[in-house]
Structure 1
Amino acid sequence: MNDTPNHDTALADFIAEVATEHDLPGIAVGIWIDGREIIANYGVTSIENPVPVTEHTVFAVGSTSKTFTATALMRLVAAGKVDLDAPVRTYVPELKLLDEQHAATITVRHLLNHTAGLEWNIINNTGEGDDGLAAFVATLSELPLIAAPGERASYSQAGFNLLGRVIENVTGEPFEKVVADTVFAPVGLAESFYFRDDIMTRRFSVGHERQEDGTLAVARTWKGTRANNPGGGLGTTVSDLLRWGRFHLGDGRTASGETVLPTELLRRMQQPTVTLRASTLADAFGLCWMLREVDGVHLVGHGGSGFGQFADLQLVPERGFAIAVLSNASPEGIPANQAIVRWALEHYLGVIDKDPEPLPFDAERVRELLGEYEIDAMTATFLVEDGQLLLDCKVKPEIRAAAPEGAIPQDHPAFPIGLLPNDEYIVTAGSFQGQRGFLTRDNHGEITALDLAGRVFTRVS
Structure 2
Amino acid sequence: MSNMSNRAISNEAISDSALSKQLEATAAEFGIPGMTVGVWADGREIFAEYGVTSIENPLPVDRDTLFTIGSAGKSCTATAVMRLVAEGRIDLDAPVLRYVPEFTLSDPAHAAAITVRQLLNHTSGLDWNLINDTGAGDDALAEFVARLAEIPLIAVPGARASYSQAGFNLLGRVIEKVTGLTFEQAVTRLVLDPVGLAHSGYERDSIMTRRFAIGHERDEDGALSVTRTWTGTRANNPGGGLVSSVAEQLRWARFQLGDGRAESGEVVLPAAALHEMRRPTVDLRASSLGDAIGLCWFMREIDGVATFGHGGSAFGQFAELLLVPEHDFAIIVMSNASPDGIPSNRAVVRWALEHYLGLVDGDPEPLPFEASRAGELLGTYDIDAMTMTVLTHGTGLSLECRIKPEIRAAAETDLPQDHPPFPFALLPGDGDEYIITEGSFKGQRGFFSRDTTGAITGLDLAGRLFTRV
TM range (shorter): over 0.9
Counterpart in 2 of 1:31?
Answer: 39
Offset at 1:6? 10
TM-score (normalised: structure 2):
0.96
Offset at 1:72? 0.5
1:196 corresponds to 2:186: no
Counterpart in 2 of 1:418?
Answer: 425
Q: Which amino acid aligns with 2:419?
A: H
Counterpart in 2 of 1:42?
Answer: 50
Q: Deviations over 1:359-384 (max 9, x none)?
A: 00000111210011111111100001
Q: Which amino acid aligns with 2:185?
A: K
Q: Which amino acid aligns with 1:384?
A: T
1:327 corresponds to 2:335: yes
Q: Is the 8 A contact 1:5 1:39 kept in 2?
A: no
Q: Which amino acid aligns with 2:417?
A: Q
Count of residues in correspondence between the two structures = 456
Q: Which amino acid aligns with 1:443?
A: T
DSSP 3-state at the match of 1:253:
coil
Q: Is the 8 A contact 1:7 1:40 kept in 2?
A: no
Q: Deviations over 1:60-89 (max 9, x none)?
A: 000011000000010000000000000000
Q: Deviations over 1:211-270 (max 9, x none)?
A: 011000000000101000000001100000000000000000112321100000000000
Identity %: 66
1:448 corresponds to 2:449: no
Q: Is the 8 A contact 2:202 2:242 kept in 1?
A: yes
Q: Deviations over 1:279-311 (max 9, x none)?
A: 011100000000000101111100000110000
Q: Which amino acid aligns with 1:448?
A: T
DSSP 3-state at the match of 1:398:
helix
- 2:72 corresponds, among 51, 55, 64, to 64
Q: Is the 8 A contact 1:5 1:36 kept in 2?
A: no
Counterpart-to-counterpart distance in 1, 2:243 and 2:394: 43
Counterpart in 2 of 1:398?
Answer: 406
1:258 corresponds to 2:240: no
Moved over 3 A (4+): 4-7
Counterpart-to-counterpart distance in 2, 1:5 and 1:412: 40
Q: Is the 8 A contact 1:6 1:39 kept in 2?
A: no
Counterpart-to-counterpart distance in 2, 1:138 and 1:401: 24
Q: Is the 8 A contact 1:62 1:304 kept in 2?
A: yes
Q: Is the 8 A contact 2:379 2:468 kept in 1?
A: yes
DSSP 3-state at the match of 1:368:
helix
Q: Deviations over 1:180-201 (max 9, x none)?
A: 1111111001120201111111
Q: Is the 8 A contact 2:219 2:417 kept in 1?
A: no
Q: Is the 8 A contact 1:437 1:451 kept in 2?
A: yes
Q: Is the 8 A contact 2:192 2:198 kept in 1?
A: yes
The Cα RMSD (Å) is 1.2
Counterpart-to-counterpart distance in 1, 2:292 and 2:416: 27
Counterpart in 1 of 2:94?
Answer: 86
Counterpart-to-counterpart distance in 2, 1:85 and 1:94: 18
Counterpart-to-counterpart distance in 1, 2:453 and 2:295: 35
Counterpart in 2 of 1:175?
Answer: 183
Q: Deviations over 1:382-409 (max 9, x none)?
A: 0012523110011111122122131x32
What does 1:254-333 correspond to in 2, within 5 Å?
A: 254-333=262-341
Counterpart-to-counterpart distance in 1, 2:14 and 2:169: 37
Counterpart in 2 of 1:385?
Answer: 393
Counterpart-to-counterpart distance in 1, 2:262 and 2:68: 25
- 1:216 corresponds, among 224, 227, 231, to 224
What does 1:100-179 correspond to in 2, within 5 Å?
A: 100-179=108-187
Q: Deviations over 1:6-39 (max 9, x none)?
A: 9700010011000000110000100001110000
Q: Which amino acid aligns with 2:418?
A: D
Offset at 1:411? 1.8
User: Which runs of no fewer than 5 residues in structure 1 stay unpaired?
Assistant: none
Q: Deviations over 1:292-343 (max 9, x none)?
A: 0010111110000011000000000111000000000001111100000000
Counterpart-to-counterpart distance in 2, 1:101 and 1:403: 33
Q: Deviations over 1:86-112 (max 9, x none)?
A: 000000101011101000010000000
DSSP 3-state at the match of 2:377:
coil
Q: Which amino acid aligns with 1:33?
A: A
Counterpart-to-counterpart distance in 2, 1:434 and 1:220: 29
- 2:467 corresponds, among 446, 449, 458, to 458
DSSP 3-state at the match of 1:8:
helix
